[in-house]
Amino acid sequence: MNQYPCSTCGANVEFAPGTTVLKCPYCSAETPLVPTGARVREHSYAQFAGLRRVPVAELAAYTFTCRGCGAVTQSDKVSDRCQFCDAPLVADTTAGDMVAPEAVLPFSVDRPTVREALRAWAASRWFAPNSLRTVTEAESAHSTYLPHWTYDARTRSHYTGQRGEHYWDTETYTDNGETRTRQVRKTRWHSASGTVARDFDDVLIAGTGRVAPKHLSKLEPWPLPQAQPYRPEFLAGHETLRYEVEPEAGLETAKTRMATVIDRDCRDDIGGDEQRVSSVRTSYIDVTFKLMLLPVWLACYLHAGKTYQVMINGRTGAVAGERPYSAAKIAALSLAVAALIAAIVVAVMLSRQ
Ligand SMILES: [Zn+2]
Ligand SMILES: [Zn+2]
């Protein structure tokens, strides 16, 4: 377990978003993060797949002993806060059966910026109830690192299919007893086959199902090249979820993503005016992967007894989330539209008289 005492007052310091320092929440003293010289590395998937592992679902929680208050707590989060004294707790990921994080994209968006982003987001939602605009979601927002897998692979795909070429044909038809001709577009199909190759870099797959994937994908793109080699200091003062999606399952999802791109490559290769792809056989060479932590502010708000989740990209400030629709506003809009249609109908009828 890791905790970082303040050199001035001894309290536990936290990583300050947008900086390269650990900051003391009490005396504001700053401890710079000295570069370690470590580099982000991709791991060979083949080597990893040969290792025996305990399924993630069966792994025990982390045990934290808080050096602030001495409390011993258990958590399945990689980093959290002491539930008694609020001191940051960071698990030691080098020991144990889980895949250790290799890279982290540190938070750069801080709480005041989150507040602004949420305000702008709520204001831009016309259908949202007015109550939402006054909710102070930012106060309840948690800075949370979400685990993601990234996969690299070189692929070669052999495909079979057909290339369609358009041509024009003259057709004869009768119109009121008169024989006429017209031009009709048709497609001639030729069988096609070939091989396409593509290198994939950092195909990103969420490692947790606790956050709705459809919202998570709206936070993209992530500035992945800015990721830093993992170091536990970046997690101090922020929550970090443990991955639940096994690397194997992540790879299957990644292959589905790659298949969409490969299908497009096959169609480009087939050429012509239309394409049919009937089979694709892909080999994956040099598959590598790594565990990456991405920064997300998670906020939720309560409206009419229901909880809604909002997320803010901790790097770009992009906001995604669910929102309630105001029944009153929608009803008002429907009435306005109905009135407008009625007005148009009346206007048209009058103009015809
Ligand atoms: Zn201090
Ligand atoms: Zn404590």
Residue 30 CA to ligand 2 centre (angstroms):
21
- Domain hosting 168: range is 162-189
Query: Which residues fall within 8 angstroms of residue 122, CB to CB, at 6 or more apart?
Result: 128, 132, 133, 135, 323
> How far is the C-alpha of 66 from the C-alpha of 73, rounded, in Å?
8
pLDDT digits (tens, 9 = 90+) for 96-118: 778 999 999 999 999 999 988 88
Question: Are 310 and 236 members of one domain?
Answer: yes
Together in a domain, 209 and 313 = yes
What is the CA(331)–ligand 2 centre distance, in A? 51
* Reported pTM: 0.84
**What is the average pLDDT across 145-152?**
97
Query: For the segment 19-46, what is each residue's pLDDT rounded down to a tens digit?
Result: 999 999 899 999 999 888 889 999 999 9
Burial class (CB in 10 A: 0-12, 13-18, 19+), 335: exposed
Given a cut of 70, is residue 15 above it in pLDDT?
yes
Pick the ligand that lies closest to the CA of residue 5: 1
Q: Where are the alpha helices (DSSP H) in the chain?
A: 45-49, 111-123, 130-134, 137-140, 213-216, 247-270, 327-352
Give the Å distances, CA to CA, from 318 to 65, 111, 142, 261.
Answer: 36, 14, 16, 26
Residues with CB under 5 A from ligand 1 (ion): 6, 8-9, 11, 24, 26-27, 29
- Residue 321, strand partner residues: 310
The answer to whether residue 3 sits within a structural domain is no
Q: 306 vs 17, which has greater pLDDT?
A: 17
Residue 10 C-beta-side C-alpha neighbours within 13 Å? 3
Looking at the fold, whether 239 and 271 belong to one and the same domain comes out as yes
Q: Which residues make beta-bridge pairs with 288?
A: 44, 152
> 128 alpha carbon to ligand 1 midpoint, in Å?
42
Distance 27 CA to ligand 1 centre (A): 4
Q: How many domains does the chain have?
A: 2
**Entry field: residues in the chain:** 353
Task: Give yes or no: residues 73 and 217 share one domain.
Answer: yes
pLDDT single digits (tens) 174-212: 988 999 999 999 999 999 999 999 999 999 999 998 888
Question: For residue 125, is it within any domain?
Answer: yes
Please give the mean pLDDT across all residues of the chain: 88
Q: In the prediction, which pLDDT does 340 show?
A: 73
Residue 247, both tokens: 């690397």
Same domain, 283 and 302: yes
Cα of 24 from ligand 1 centre, angstroms? 5
Are 44 and 102 contained in the same domain?
Answer: yes
Give the alpha-carbon dihedral of 188, 189, 194, 197, to 10 degrees.
80
Q: How far, in Å, is the centroid of ligand 2 from the Cα of 6?
A: 15
Give the rounded distance of the alpha carbon of 242 from its chain centre: 16
Pair (216, 254) in one structural domain: yes
44-73: pLDDT as tens digits: 999 888 888 888 888 888 899 998 899 999
Ligand nearest to the CA of 8: 1
The bridge status of strand 274-303 relative to strand 103-104 is parallel
Does residue 91 surpass a pLDDT of 70?
A: yes
